[in-house]
Amino acid sequence: MASAPHLFLILLPFYFTPILSFLYRMLNALIAPHLVLEFGLSPAELGFITGAFFFGFGVMQVPLGLLLDRYGPRPVILTLYAIAAVGALLFIYAPGPVWLILGRFLMGLGAAGSMMGGLKAARVWAPADRLPFISASLFAMTGVGGMLGTAPMGLLVGEIGWRGGLGVILAYSALLMLLIALLVPSAPRPADVRWRTQFRELGQVWRSPLVWLIAPLAIASVGTNGAYLSLWSPIWLRDVAGFSQDAQEWALFAMMAATMAGMLATGSLSQRLIRRGRSAMPVVFGGVAISLAAQTLAVLEVESLAWVIWPMFAFGSAAIVGLFAILARRFDPAVAGRVNTSINCLMFAGSFAAQWGVGLIINQYPQAANGHYSPAAHQTALLIMLGIQLLGLLWYVLRKDKMDPAQGTTAS
C-alpha cells in the first residue's frame, strides 16, 4: 500500500478522468437539436447515435479488465484516450450519420477506462477499508463532469459551435494524458501473467453467483440513468414541462450536482456500515427507491415538480455505484479490474439498449409540427423502464438467499 502523500499523487489524475468521460458522454444531450437540424435525424437515429457511445463503452469493458490487471492503469488509459481523440475528430468532421455513429463509438471505446482505471489504482495502492469512500468519490467526479458538460458547455457551444466545444474537450484530454504520464507509476505485475490464467480467472468472475445476483438490478438502474441523464430527460422537460433550451441546460446542471451529492452520500454511508461489519446494500436500495419515486412523478406528469423530479432521479440512481465497493471486497485484488469491468460491461450494455429503446418507443408516436415529441410517448417509455427496474429489484430480493454464497468462486 502507498503512503498517504504518495497515494494522493497516484489517484489525483483519476479524479479528473471521470470529468473527461462525462464531457464526451453529455455532449449529445446539449447538441441534439443541432444534430437533428444539420443531419435530419429521426428520434430512433438520434437515440442510436447517442447510444453508440455506451455500446463502445460497454464493448471495451471485458478486454479492459484483462488489460488493467495485466499492465496497470497508466499505459492502458493513455492508449484509450488516444482512441477517444480519434473518435472526437471523426465526429467533428462527420459528413453523415454513419460517421457520427463511428465517432461516438470510438469516443465510448476510449472513455471506457476513465472510471475503471481509478478503481483499479485504488484497489492496488489504497487500504481496503477506504475503498467505499474512494470509489464513491471517484464516481462523484462524474457529477463535476456532468455539471461542466451542461449549462457551461451549452454557453461555450453557443459561442463557438458544437464542433468548437468538442475541440475544447480534446484539449482537456491532452492535458489529462500528460498528467497521467507524469504522476501515475507502473503497477505491480501479477505473479502469473499468462493469458490463459487471466482468461480462466475472468471466466470465474463471470460465473460468480454474486455477479449475476446484482446484474439485473445494475443493468436496469444504470441503463435508465444513462438513457435519461444523457439524452431523454431534457427532451422530456421540453416536451412535457415546456422548458426552453437554457432551462434544459440548467436542469441538467442540477441533475449532475445531484448525481455528485448522491455518490458522495453513498460512499460515506456505505463506508460507515462496512466498518461496522454490516452490509451496504440498504444504501443501494434506498437510492433505488428514491429514483423509482422520481420516475413515478415523471410518469404522472407532475409539471409543477419538474425542477425536482430529475435531480431527485439523479440523486437516487447514483446509489447504484455502491455495488462496485461491495463487489470489490468480495474478490481478490488481482482480479479487481476484471470484476469492475465485467459489471460495468453489463451496465453500459443496458445503457445502450435503454438509450436506443426509448428512442424506438418515442418514434412510434406522431411528432408535432414544431419537432417536439408526444407526452404520451414519454409516458409509455418511462412506464416500460419502471417495469424493467422493478423486475431487476424483484430478482435480487427473491434470489438473494440462493445466489449470495459466503464465498464466490473467486471471492475471498
Q: How far is CA 396 from CA 13, 276, 279, 289, in A?
A: 35, 23, 15, 14
Residue 224 in grid coordinates: 435508465
Task: Give the three-state DSSP class for 185.
Answer: coil
Q: Is 411 helix (H, G, I), strand (E, B) or coil?
A: strand
Instruction: Give residue-wise pLDDT tens across range 66-95.
Output: 888 888 899 999 999 999 999 999 999 999
- Report the C-alpha gap between 223 and 221 in whole angstroms: 5
Q: What is the mean pLDDT of the chain?
A: 85
| Rg, Å, the chain Cα set | 20
Residue 4 has pLDDT above 90, yes or no: no
> Residue 227: left (phi > 0), alpha (psi -120 to 50), or beta?
alpha
- CB of 205 closer than 8 Å to CB of 410: yes
Percent of the chain with pLDDT over 90: 33
Q: Is the pLDDT of residue 198 over 80?
A: no
Which of the four CATH numbers 1.20.1250.20, 1.20.1290.10, 3.60.15.10, 3.90.1310.10 does domain 4-403 have? Answer: 1.20.1250.20
Q: How far apart are CA 228 and CA 298, in angstroms?
A: 12
d(CA 388, CA 377): 17
Picking from 247, 43, 252, 37, the residue whose alpha carbon sits closest to that of residue 162 is: 37
Residue 112 backbone dihedrals phi, psi, to 5 degrees: -60, -30
Q: To 5 degrees, how large is the angle CA 360–CA 363–CA 364?
A: 100
Domain layout of the chain by residue ranges: 4-403
Q: How far is CA 172 from CA 53, 328, 374, 394, in A?
A: 19, 30, 38, 42
Weakest-pLDDT range from 6-15, 64-73, 142-151, 374-383: 142-151
Residue 331 pairs with which residues in a beta bridge? Answer: 411
Structure confidence at residue 404 (pLDDT): 65
When pLDDT is cut at 50, 70 and 90, the band that residue 5 belongs to is low
Mean pLDDT, to the nearest integer, of 390-394? 94
Return the number of other C-beta atoms located less than 10 Å from residue 321's C-beta: 27
* pLDDT higher at 135 or 190: 135
Measured at the alpha carbon of residue 138, what is the angle toward residues 137 and 140, in degrees to the nearest 5? 60
How many degrees, rounded to 5, is the angle at CA 123 between CA 61 and CA 326? 75
Phi, psi of 315 (to 5 degrees): -60, -45
- pLDDT over threshold 80, residue 42: yes
pLDDT in tens, 235-280: 999 999 999 888 888 888 888 889 888 988 887 888 788 777 777 7
**CA neighbor of 373 nearest in space, from 274, 244, 240:** 240
Using DSSP, state whether 349 is helix, strand or coil: helix
pLDDT tens string 281-331: 889 999 999 999 999 999 999 988 999 999 999 999 988 878 877 776 777
* Residue from 382, 383, 384, 365 nearest 374 by CA: 365
SS3 content of the chain, % helix, strand, coil (to 5): 85, 0, 15
The kind and range of the H/E element at 168 are helix 151-183
The C-alpha atoms of residue 69 and residue 62 are separated, in whole angstroms, by 11
How many whole angstroms separate alpha carbon 368 and alpha carbon 188?
A: 58
The residues near 37 (Cβ < 8 Å, ≥ 6 apart) are none
Instruction: Please give the average per-residue pLDDT across 143-166, as a whole number.
Output: 86
What global pTM score does this model have? 0.72
The pLDDT tens digits for 218-237 are 999 988 988 898 778 989 99
pLDDT for position 269:
86
pLDDT score, position 407: 41
Question: Which pLDDT score is estimated for 139?
Answer: 77
The pLDDT value recorded for residue 193 is 65
Share of the chain above pLDDT 70, in %: 94
Q: Is 97 exposed, middle or buried (0-12, 13-18, 19+ CB in 10 A)?
A: middle
**Cβ atoms of 388 and 219 closer than 8 Å:** no
**Which residue from 377, 218, 347 is spatially nearest to 284, judged by alpha carbons?**
218
* Predicted pLDDT at 31: 86
Q: What's the Cα-to-Cα distance from 283 to each of 233, 268, 306, 320, rounded to whole Å?
A: 25, 10, 25, 9
Amino acid found at 142: T
CA distance 27 to 53: 11
